[in-house]
Structure 1
């Protein structure tokens, strides 16, 4: 998977109101990853009116990179979730096309682990989120775990960095121990040198050989040298660096005008055509294809358009996007302030500018 490709997260959640509320809370905690352009998400409430819900769920499940299975008694009691979605999710997990992660919402019989063997379980301590107080602590742990999975999927050097993180921890622990021993040896040696000759003879059996002192001095110097070399690698060893902060994979994120649709042609839905020839040339569709895109879709800039920092499309301009540039759609929204007599619904989108290796 390309480091510039959005990681698609699929929420596999029961229809229970309690489960849905906790799913929404989890989505709030993952909003930082979405804003950074790391993930895009999909859940059943995003199904457009008139769409066949089973085929929509199946389509998005099979194209997801991370499948979050929200474990609760309602989930395990649902024949559809247990026999259909769980089975398909694990088939993709075993095939390596998706990564399944279990999220423990509420206490349930551990029998669920039979259907989901050898997968990552969050929170890491295995305590259901509902049992934690405050629950935000558990949601934070889950969000960190999902970030790590997304980083593993998109960063080819993830395992190397993970090993180096452990190595540095070990080096620090050994270094601290060596320093403590060195201080102890120095203290004993110093006191020994300033004792009387009679006292030194009496305690000769307990003295520390000079060779041992030299050994610890050289060992401490070597460990210090290795520690400095690890630091010069500039790899985030003690705290994983967010994917979007890496030097070559940062992608500009902001808001653009994408076009308008007719009010008279029904509600908004993915794939609906934009108005191609409005009276004002400034309102021409700015993307190709000229339809309402779904989150995660990659589109092409058709006409020059300003990438704005603010959702209102006013204020600071980030950059002018040129014709032919590739963008990843993160979210599509309508303008809140539109003239009542206008025959159109005006649309804007949050997008991420692709780099040279952006692929569908």
Structure 2
């Protein structure tokens, strides 16, 4: 039985929209191979209730990706998304919470984010790398490893 794509939910401040777009570009091979599908609030169409759409998508996500910056930490909407995702993670509905550090900020002091291994691997913000492409490649590698682990986990479930 083939794996269905893992669903990624992007939680981000709109001030960081360009970073979200850049991350999506770097994940193109995973998307084209059918290994992931992605969702962010830019897919909400006119006439839909924003809050209920976001809650539904977080609830359906396999992986929630937090794009962390000072703007993220100052956004009430982002903080609500973190709270929802952590609740789902605690009861087993969401498999992974991944922080991608975009810009230098006090992310280690935010909630318990410092307890999670962040991407890029050493928690060095994407903006602080000599080349953003190298930083995004590092994020891609880390996310690909997570996806491979989740795919193996799903294969074991199917064999039972």
Q: Same fold (TM over 0.5)?
A: yes
When normalised by structure 1's length, the TM-score is 0.41
Number of equivalenced pairs: 154
Task: Give 1:140's aligned residue.
Answer: 137
| Structure 1: distance between partners of 2:93 and 2:116 | 14
* Structure-to-structure mapping, 1:20-31, within 5 angstroms: 20-31=17-28
Alignment-derived partner of residue 10 in structure 2: 11
Q: Which structure has more helix as a fraction of its residues?
A: 2
Task: Quote the residue 2:48 is aligned against.
Answer: 51
Q: Hey, what does 1:111 align to over in structure 2?
A: 109
C-alpha separation between the residues in 2 aligned to 1:115 and 1:81? 15
The reply on whether 1:40 has 2:37 as its aligned counterpart is yes
Name stretches of at least 5 consecutive residues in structure 2 with no aligned partner. none
> Which of these residues, 90, 93, 97, is aligned with residue 89 of structure 2?
93
CA–CA distance in structure 1, aligned partners of residues 14 and 154 of structure 2 = 39
Task: Label 1:95 to 1:119 Cα distance change in 2 as closer, same or farther (>3 A).
Answer: farther
Write the mapping of 1:1-360 to structure 2, written as runs, cut at 5 A: 4-16=3-15, 19-82=16-79, 84-98=80-94, 99-109=96-106, 110-112=108-110, 114-116=111-113, 118-156=115-153
Query: Are the aligned partners of 1:86 and 1:115 in contact in 2 as well (CA < 8 Å)?
Result: no
Equivalent-residue separation in structure 2 for 1:67 and 1:157 (angstroms): 18
Q: CA deviation at 1:140?
A: 0.4
- Structure having the higher Rg: 1
**1:184-213 residue CA offsets vs partner (Å, 9 max, x unmatched):** xxxxxxxxxxxxxxxxxxxxxxxxxxxxxx
Greater strand share, structure number? 1
C-alpha displacement at 1:157, in angstroms?
9.1
| Contact preservation (8 Å) 2:3, 2:154 | no
**Residue 153 of structure 2: SS of its match in structure 1?**
coil
Q: Quote the RMSD (CA, aligned, Å).
A: 1.8
Distance 2:92 2:154 in 1: 18
Structure 1: any 5+ residue segments left out of the alignment? 159-356
